[in-house]
Amino acid sequence: MNAQTTEDSLLHQLEIAPEGISKVEALIGLTHYYADRDMLEVREYAEQAFQLSETLNYEHGVAKSIHGIASYHDHFGEYDLALDHYLKSLKIFEKLNDSINISSLYLSIGVFFRKQKNYAKALEYYQKSNAIESKIDHFECLAANYNNIGNVYSDLNKIDSAMIYYRRSLELYQQTGTDHQAAAIKVNLGIQYEEKGDYVKAEKFYMEALEISRAEKDLQDEMIALTNIGFLYIKKKQYAKSADYFSRAKDLCEQLNDINWKTNIYEGLSQLEENRGNFESALRWNQKLLTLKDSIFNIEQKAVIEKMQARFELEQKEKEIIRLNKEKEIQQQKRLALMVIMVLSLLLGIILFIWQRSKLFKERKIAEQQEKILISENRKLELEQEKIKSELTFRDKELTTFALHLVQKNEFLKHIEEVLQKVPSANSNTQKALKKVSFELHQNQLIGNELADFHIRLDEVNSQFFQHLESKFPQLTKKEKRLAALLRLGLTSKEISVLNHVGEQAIKMSRHRLRKRLSLDSSVNLTNFFKNLEA
């Protein structure tokens, strides 16, 4: 049910994804899902991903889809094509400096060379993957690599070396809490101890693997552990126990419908009966084993036939593409011919127009006169617009001058106020008089008629600017629009603070809030921004 849900989710994602990178990633996801289920589907989705990635110039998608195609060729024994595609994908990821996918390619190539029994190359690529995973502290992948290296040494019958890497792998899995993988490593260690003849330790690791797989409810790992225990008990001549474990492994194998692993169980049962002296029973199990192998062979042959069918269908598709391209070329030729006819028709129309134009000479003269009048009127309009623009510029300058005048006045009054406050006086009446004068000067800065007049003129001169500002930024308050107008005049924060008789820091905070309201970066000059707003 979970697999079905995953498949449905990926297919739904593919269906709703637009023709872009998200669709490529959905196709790549489907290649990963079918990797251990149906390699023909892997090829189909990988090719779709490749074509779309090429169209989008999406290099990551190209590299990932080539990796999928390589896996397809590897699965069907087309090793030259597989290696070629692996290396093409690796080259792109190296160009993109994508460490994670480079490590994944190294791992795939290592597995590829191990199947070819080229163990030196396999170890080389596993170690390359290890070097990357060590730098990024990707412990689970590093543990998987150690297990792969252990498998190579196990193939080479270098048991001690294999056990070193299996133990490293087990330590990392235990650190990351990945019990499922730890069960598989314990089985591998059990096999090595069995090869060394240390059946006690072999049994210990097999039993620990069995316990973990049961706790994790992993039927596959449980079946593998049971089978290995069955073989171990044959060697220990504990045939009743061996039969019991093989029986349980066989039940799980039937449940999982794992036809390939069933050959190991049948071989074990045949060997068990032979060691017991039950040669007739051993022969029956051996015959079942041969029948099963024939069945597997037929399945493999069917897969080969399906692959050939897929190739045939691909060739048919390619032929269809060639046919469609030819039809497209014919359509283009037809369009070209139609364009030639249209051009000839246009030329004929021009000739007729010129002939008619010669007959309508008077109308043309009238049209020219009207055009001159229109040009003249347009020129007048341009002059009027220039005049209005000049007047607005003058009013801006006049308003700026007025603002600077108010600033100077306020600064002067403030200076006098500060001087008066510093004048020493022993006479209380004089001191009161000075304080009164200072207070009046302060009030003059706060509520002077000139400041109110300035705000009226500011609103009048900038009425069009305010309308333009409001249309683009309707969220601004009246106070923020006035601040924008003052910045547009080129006034500094200090001048604006003096003009409004507030602290310069307060104006800086207002500018900061205004910049946030306009979603402007700190590198944008506010004065230039407001000056160019109507441009």
Q: What is the model's pLDDT at position 494?
A: 87
Cα–Cα distance measured from residue 389 to residue 165, given in angstroms and rounded to the nearest whole number: 82
Beta strands in 133-196 (DSSP E): none
Q: Tokens standing for 460?
A: 């009048």
Q: What is the model's pLDDT at position 372?
A: 80
Q: What is the model's pLDDT at position 65?
A: 92
- 36 DSSP 8-state letter: G
Q: What is the model's pLDDT at position 160?
A: 92
- 35 DSSP 8-state letter: G
Q: What is the model's pLDDT at position 3?
A: 47
Cα–Cα distance measured from residue 382 to residue 377, given in angstroms and rounded to the nearest whole number: 9
Q: Is the dihedral of CA 324, 325, 327, 328 positive or negative?
A: positive
Q: What is the model's pLDDT at position 2?
A: 47
Q: What is the model's pLDDT at position 238?
A: 94
Domains in the chain: boundaries: 25-97, 98-156, 178-262, 395-531
Q: What is the model's pLDDT at position 132?
A: 87
Beta strands in 98-164 (DSSP E): none
Q: What is the model's pLDDT at position 1?
A: 38
Q: What is the model's pLDDT at position 314?
A: 56
Q: What is the mean pLDDT of each run of 10 residues along the chain (535 residues)?
A: 62 78 87 83 91 91 93 88 92 90 90 90 89 79 86 92 90 77 89 92 93 88 92 93 93 86 91 91 91 71 52 62 79 86 86 82 77 76 63 60 65 67 66 67 58 79 85 88 87 86 88 88 87 74
| Cα within 13 Å of Cα(269), Cβ side | 22
Q: What is the model's pLDDT at position 410?
A: 65
Residue 152 sits at φ, ψ, to 5 deg, of: -65, -50
Cα–Cα distance measured from residue 481 to residue 474, given in angstroms and rounded to the nearest whole number: 10
Domain 98-156 has CATH 1.20.1630: no
Q: Tokens standing for 533?
A: 């707003």
Q: Do the domains 25-97 and 178-262 sit in the same CATH topology, yes or no?
A: yes
For the chain, what is the radius of gyration of the CA atoms? 43
Instruction: Give whole-number Cα distances, 205 to 17, 167, 229, 246, 521, in Å.
Output: 48, 12, 10, 18, 63
| Cα within 13 Å of Cα(336), Cβ side | 6
CATH architecture observed for domain 178-262:
Alpha Horseshoe (1.25)
Instruction: For domain 25-97, give the CATH number.
Output: 1.25.40
